[in-house]
Structure 1
């Protein structure tokens, strides 16, 4: 007898039934009587997100105990921990997968195939953002995980700092002012205070955003390296101009100095995915409600401002001794209306589950952004972004290009020299 109970009937409106989102297909979830203890692995600050969701989860599943463990840094310490677990057939019941390392992990046979009975996710996979669904679906048809959130990108900016220097503070006016990358650099000089305040947190923002706007990844779909694409050198040249103008902070990404600079008001903007707002709210600048706004990034020459920057996924390991409870947790986390509402409104995590796009709660006046409805920015980005192509060697190229960007910013290499050095490093490691 199948242990799954029907979660949602087609056409049921989210605004009418709490915790339920409208959908065309049917998704099955274990019944509320499901019990057991499961272990979930993730990274900071997602561990805190899960902990905050436990009261709501346990209203739906009072007999499931979830033990959440967070390991630092989704793409190194955490990645290494998960890889060791997969190789030794040990580990948790449920594990998160960050988009940057998904290609490294998704071919491992230790993931439960969610296309199979009793999960049958292939029946509803079209209700996830298409590019996110494609990332977790192998050529064989196996679905290794569920997309949890995507990373539609934007320009986070300090309203108060912009006002101080005479720049506009409303999102549409910011977008009009920062119409392209050249204007962004020229107008951005106004916020700079030498050795005290900078426009940009790190040069990699420019490279990542410009490449994503063009739909260029480190590798193409055939696995060919893309460092010869003109946009790479073009972006390094823009970074060089920004560095010469003193716009880029000297702090290494994710260092304590870099994180603290946001709360100290030393960084006026950052181009990142929607999720970065959760870090501002919870960790980097929790006392700065009302000081931040979100606009679209500067446009390329075609007018495109959209880019994806991040995303995460969640899967079940074959070694789990309680797959029923694990599936209850996974399916609730990524499709339940109350789960997605809390994650979006509290942590700025953008749902990969597309029925959430029609929920009332996704359009709200967020006090952290001075009452702005930031979904007006991110919904448009989500609809128009060009998906990235993932490759198992992305971390090798990303590391080499981070060095290249730093060398340009520090003035120790020209864009051409830095790119040549990166190509040499990548060739040696592949």
Structure 2
């Protein structure tokens, strides 16, 4: 069964909201419905398809604004490079998306419109976004470079049918019970593995990023000090080593065509990722697998914490835009309008940063793709309890080095200790 917008929305008839902002303490400034012009929006897949699907509803509110969406592959490499070149040359689109992993790198650029200023006055709205998302887009001088669009509460996506075949429980609470901690995840997870055919874990970096986030450790601390010597890093790399020895980790390179296709082929039984990963499953990786997937919380760390953030996106206006009024109409509508947020959540699993959305009926629904599960019962708790990450402009350098370390451990060419030392050397050479 392939899920479509029509399928989901017809099943949820009666829950749609009027096309208005979800009012809380204050509503965003709204340009006149007569505002006109053409704006360009830069983003990445699958977000380009998300925007394209939103445009009919947006044009009901703003019929005279034409939005041209351009998608560039991979938010933190080709897309990032494209945006950076545009900023340096004072060219580019009216509106651009910013992924959380590169927000610290891009937010210092002067080419972003300050949304705290008139007529936007976004500083009056920041209390209505998830606090960590609002803090991430606000510079120390008070400049707001973008609006938070979505957060990335993270969970364990798992194949119900594979778990059943392996004799494991299939309901979320039961899955959390058998995967009580990381040791249990490795021990029990071996039951789903078929050597050279099926694996438990899509990529070893999932373990590292999840364990670090659960402990509240980022690549850098708030003072900018590198955190590779934090004990959780070697602990996580050791867990990767144990999982690799048990044959749990797939050989596919993350985001490669082989890796993406493995989900639809039933070769990967779980993945720890942000809420948004469900949108990729539905639209791209496994569109015919409705009913086969479920969502639970990740294995708990030693403190019992299962919550982590894995992603988030933001949307800003460039100073070079020739139609900032239309650009603001678009970005404020996308991140605060009830119809917009409902459609993005129910169709693409994008979790609203606008906190008023958390009290709506539409965020709690039985999603047929997840076998009728209300996944917000998992993600709302995670969102409420996650430890925000500390962002640094050099995050990508460290992440790349650690990813190489993880691959070397999985391939058996380095011990966790050796791989970590190699990562430290690589980072030192690049900083």
1:213-224 pair list within 5 angstroms: 213-224=214-225
Structure 1 match to 2:354: 353
Shift of 1:15: 8.3
Question: What SS does the corresponding residue of 1:391 show, helix, strand or coil?
Answer: coil
Structure 2 match to 1:162: 163
Distance, in Å, in 2 between the alignment partners of 1:374 and 1:18 is: 25
Instruction: State the TM-score, normalized to the length of structure 1.
Output: 0.96
CA gap 1:125/1:195 in 2 versus in 1, 3 angstroms: same
Q: Does 1:285 align with 2:286?
A: yes
Q: Does 1:314 align with 2:315?
A: yes
Structure 1 match to 2:7: none
Distance, in Å, in 2 between the alignment partners of 1:124 and 1:326 is: 17
Shift of 1:18: 4.9
Cα deviation code 1:48-82 (max 9, x no counterpart):
00000011000000000000000111101110110
CA contact (8 A) 1:175 1:297 kept: yes
1:141-290 pair list within 5 angstroms: 141-290=142-291
Distance, in Å, in 1 between the alignment partners of 2:242 and 2:44 is: 35
Cα deviation code 1:343-366 (max 9, x no counterpart):
000000000000000011000000
Structure 2 match to 1:297: 298
Distance, in Å, in 1 between the alignment partners of 2:365 and 2:339 is: 15
Shift of 1:146: 0.3
Cα deviation code 1:225-267 (max 9, x no counterpart):
0000000000000000000000000000000000000000000
CA contact (8 A) 1:15 1:359 kept: no
Gaps of 5+ in 1: 1-13
Distance, in Å, in 2 between the alignment partners of 1:222 and 1:139 is: 14
Structure 1 match to 2:108: 107
CA gap 1:417/1:41 in 2 versus in 1, 3 angstroms: same
CA contact (8 A) 2:21 2:27 kept: no
Distance, in Å, in 2 between the alignment partners of 1:193 and 1:294 is: 22
Structure 2 match to 1:11: none
Distance, in Å, in 1 between the alignment partners of 2:177 and 2:33 is: 51
Q: Does 1:412 align with 2:413?
A: yes
Cα deviation code 1:375-427 (max 9, x no counterpart):
00000000000000000100100000000000001110000000000001101
Cα deviation code 1:105-129 (max 9, x no counterpart):
0000000000000000001111000
CA contact (8 A) 2:204 2:407 kept: yes
Structure 2 match to 1:5: none
Structure 1 match to 2:123: 122
Structure 1 match to 2:132: 131
CA contact (8 A) 1:15 1:360 kept: no
Structure 1 match to 2:393: 392
CA gap 1:16/1:410 in 2 versus in 1, 3 angstroms: closer
Instruction: State the TM-score, normalized to the length of structure 2.
Output: 0.96
Question: What SS does the corresponding residue of 1:119 show, helix, strand or coil?
Answer: coil
Aligned residues: 417
CA contact (8 A) 1:21 1:336 kept: yes
Q: Does 1:62 align with 2:42?
A: no
Shift of 1:21: 1.5
Q: Does 1:33 align with 2:34?
A: yes
Distance, in Å, in 2 between the alignment partners of 1:134 and 1:23 is: 19
Distance, in Å, in 1 between the alignment partners of 2:117 and 2:248 is: 52
Shift of 1:29: 1.0
Cα deviation code 1:313-335 (max 9, x no counterpart):
00000000000000000000000
Shift of 1:16: 7.4
Question: What SS does the corresponding residue of 2:69 show, helix, strand or coil?
Answer: strand
CA contact (8 A) 2:153 2:382 kept: yes
Structure 2 match to 1:363: 364
Shift of 1:20: 3.6
Distance, in Å, in 2 between the alignment partners of 1:18 and 1:416 is: 55
Shift of 1:31: 1.5
Distance, in Å, in 2 between the alignment partners of 1:25 and 1:64 is: 25
Question: What SS does the corresponding residue of 2:200 show, helix, strand or coil?
Answer: coil
CA contact (8 A) 1:21 1:356 kept: yes
